[in-house]
Structure 1
Amino acid sequence: MSQDTTFKLNRRRFLAGSAALIGTPALAQETTGIPDPTNTVEIEKDVSQTVRRNISSFRSLDWRPYFSSLRKGAILVDIDSRALHYWSEDGETYKLYPSSVPLTEDLTRRGRTSVIRKVEGPSWRPTPSMKKRNPEWPDYIGPGPDNPLGTHALYLSWTYYRIHGTHDTRKIGRRSSNGCIGLFNEHIADLFERAKVGTQVLLI
Structure 2
Amino acid sequence: MSTQNRNRFGRRAFLAGSAALLGTPSIAQAIDGEGTTEVERDLSRVVKRNISSFRSLDWQPYFSNLRNGAILVDIDSRALHFWNEDGRYFLYPSSVPLTEDLTRRGRTRVIRKVEGPSWRPTPAMRKRNPEWPEFVGPGPDNPLGSHALYLSWTYYRIHGTHDTRKIGRRSSNGCIGLYNEHIAQLFGMAKIGTQVLLI
TM-score range, shorter chain: 0.7 to 0.9
Task: Return the match for 2:42 from 46, 51, 60.
Answer: 46
| Partner residue, 2:168 | 173
Identity %: 82
Give distance in 2, aligned partners of 1:153 and 1:170.
18
Seen in structure 2, the aligned counterparts of structure 1 residues 44 and 128 have a Cα distance that, compared at 3 Å, is same
Task: Return the match for 2:138 from 120, 143, 146.
Answer: 143
Task: Return the match for 1:100 from 92, 95, 103.
Answer: 95
Alignment of 1:6-25 (within 5 A): none
Seen in structure 2, the aligned counterparts of structure 1 residues 143 and 56 have a Cα distance that, compared at 3 Å, is closer
Give distance in 2, aligned partners of 1:67 and 1:129.
33
| Partner residue, 2:111 | 116
The answer to whether structure 1 residue 64 and structure 2 residue 66 are counterparts is no
**Counterpart residue type for residue 68 of structure 1:** S
| Cα deviation, residue 40, structure 1 | 1.9
Give distance in 1, aligned partners of 2:193 and 2:80.
17
Give the match's secondary structure for 2:186: helix
Q: Does structure 1 retain, via aligned residues, the 8 Å contact 2:110–2:149? A: yes
| Cα deviation, residue 130, structure 1 | 3.1
| Partner residue, 2:177 | 182
Pairs aligned (count): 169
Q: Does structure 2 retain, via aligned residues, the 8 Å contact 1:52–1:175? A: no
Which deviations, in whole Å up to 9, do the C-alpha atoms of 1:130-185 show, x marking residues without a partner?
A: 33454443221100000000000000011010000000000000000000000000
Give distance in 1, aligned partners of 2:42 and 2:91.
25
Which deviations, in whole Å up to 9, do the C-alpha atoms of 1:36-85 show, x marking residues without a partner?
A: 25352121112222335355631211111111110110000000100000
Give distance in 2, aligned partners of 1:71 and 1:193.
16
Give the match's secondary structure for 2:126: helix
TM-score normalised by structure 1 residue count: 0.78
Seen in structure 2, the aligned counterparts of structure 1 residues 66 and 132 have a Cα distance that, compared at 3 Å, is closer
Task: Return the match for 2:195 from 167, 175, 200.
Answer: 200
Give distance in 2, aligned partners of 1:46 and 1:198.
33
**Counterpart residue type for residue 45 of structure 1:** R
Q: Structure 1: which 5+ residue stretches go unaligned?
A: 1-34
Give distance in 1, aligned partners of 2:40 and 2:160.
11
RMSD of Structure 2 on Structure 1 (CA)? 1.6
Give the match's secondary structure for 1:106: helix
Q: Structure 2: which 5+ residue stretches go unaligned?
A: 1-30
Give distance in 2, aligned partners of 1:127 and 1:178.
10
Give the match's secondary structure for 1:187: helix
> Max radius of gyration: which structure?
2
